[in-house]
Chains A and B, each alone.
Chain A
Amino acid sequence: MYRGREGQWAFYLHRISGIAIILFLALHVTEISSSMFGPKWFNALLKFEENPIFGLGLVAVAALVLYHALNGLRIILMDFTSWGVRLQRQLWYAVWVVYVVLGFPMLFIMLRHVFVGGE
């Protein structure tokens, strides 16, 4: 493994989260379009997805989306400003700070939804 630093890991994570999000989207569209086969199938599918495994999967997808979004902002700053590139490492740490600040309430709300249910 090449011993790259923050930038390399930011890039790998961005790529992996991007691919995972696309796969989720494909899955999601397939799920919704199953309603074409009538309420019987669609409701059965929804019932099946009540399994907490899917809830946890959704938490994982949300975690990846949050990283992809925040690092995406970092990339925009790097692409459009000259200081963004100079401060790329600090920006990456800033991404993680915001990630934790936004991520924890999100995690809390989502987990409660998965395990306790309802609003």
Chain B
Amino acid sequence: MQVTLKILRYNPEKDARPHWESYRLEAEPMDRVLDLLHQVKWEKDGTLAFRKSCGHGICGSDAMMINGVNRLACKTLVKDLGTDVITVEPIRGLPVEKDLVVDMEPFFEAYRAVKPWLINDEPPPERERLQSPEERAVFDEGTKCILCAACTTSCPVFWVNGTYLGPSAIVQAHRFIFDSRDKGAHERFPALGSTGGVWRCRTAYNCTEACPREIPVTQLIEEVKRAIMFGQM
């Protein structure tokens, strides 16, 4: 089948602002949008810039806005889009460096702000820190996150509020706050409870819809809100 791939392109050295460019391509229904981008880069215009690494939905490099919603290019099949006009734009709310490549630094800065590592000053036991399957299940969803930023950059609050940590950082915080082995909740709460923290979430659910790992992002954010509000930790 023939498809039209429209890409929002931007070259900081030449363009004053981003502009659309269209490519007519021969595609299979089972092709991924990533295959189409490769086709353009390898056969039509080698200057096209985008990120990808694994090609299998696990590295989190290729989140982009495809036909108006955030998805991974490597996890989106042409046939599932239900149209032969495919638009691709960089994810929103982060500075565009070139074409589909954005500066992820603000995203990772928010990630670091919630201290996404195990905090526990108690002396380590002789063997591992034991945890029951039930305790493990409480934070299971958050462990699936691949830090692709699809959620954070789909959030209407993140687009306009320069300080909001964003859904992804809160998912990461949830993963540790609700881990029975972790004792760092009170070190994380200042960032999470600040003006740029969980209270900026207005439950628009774009994050939950966007997550390629099907993490119930909004639900986790609400759980963190309640943990802070009721001092559960």
Residue A38 interfacial (CB < 8 Å): no
CB of A116 within 8 Å of the partner chain? no
Interface-facing stretch out of A8-16, A26-34, A58-66: A8-16
Q: Does A111 contact B (CB under 8 A)?
A: no
A66: min CB distance to chain B, Å: 20
- The total of chain A residues at the interface (CB under 8 A) is 21
Contacts of B69 in A (CB 8 A): 2-4
- Pairwise interchain contact B205-A8, C-beta atoms closer than 8 A: yes
Q: Does A57 contact B (CB under 8 A)?
A: no
Contact check, A4 vs B204: say whether CB atoms are below 8 A apart. yes
Q: Are A3 and B156 in contact (CB under 8 A)?
A: no
Interface residues on B, range: 20 to 34
B205–A4 touching, CB < 8 Å = yes
Task: Check A7 for interface membership: any CB of B closer than 8 A.
Answer: yes
Q: Indicate which residue in B204, B206, B216 contacts A85 across the interface (CB closer than 8 Å).
A: B216
A50 at the interface (CB under 8 A from B): no
B203 contacts across to A, CB distance below 8 A:
7, 11, 75, 78-79, 85, 88
Contact assessment for A4 and B154 in the assembled complex, using a CB-CB cutoff below 8 Å:
yes
- Given A2-B65, A4-B209, A8-B156, A79:B225 Cβ within 8 A: yes
Q: Does A6 contact B (CB under 8 A)?
A: yes
A1, A12, A82: the one within 8 Å of B219 (CB): A82
CB-CB under 8 A from B156, the residues of chain A are 2, 4, 8, 11-12
- Cα separation A15 to B156 with both chains bound (whole Å): 12
A47 contacts partner chain B, Cβ-Cβ < 8 Å: no
CA distance A2 to B91 in the complex (A): 10
Residues of B within 8 A of A85 (CB): 203, 216, 218-219, 222
Whether the pair B154, A79 counts as a contact (CB closer than 8 A) is no
Tell which of B67, B204, B223 touches A11, judged by Cβ atoms closer than 8 Å.
B204
Least CB distance from A55 to B in Å reads 33
B92 at interface (Cβ–Cβ under 8 A)? yes
Say yes or no: A2 contacts B222, CB within 8 Å.
Answer: no
What residues on B are CB-neighbors of A6 within 8 Å? 205
15 contacts between A and B (CB under 8 A): A1-B68, A2-B65, A2-B68, A2-B206, A4-B156, A8-B204, A11-B156, A11-B202, A12-B204, A14-B202, A78-B222, A79-B225, A85-B203, A85-B219, A86-B219
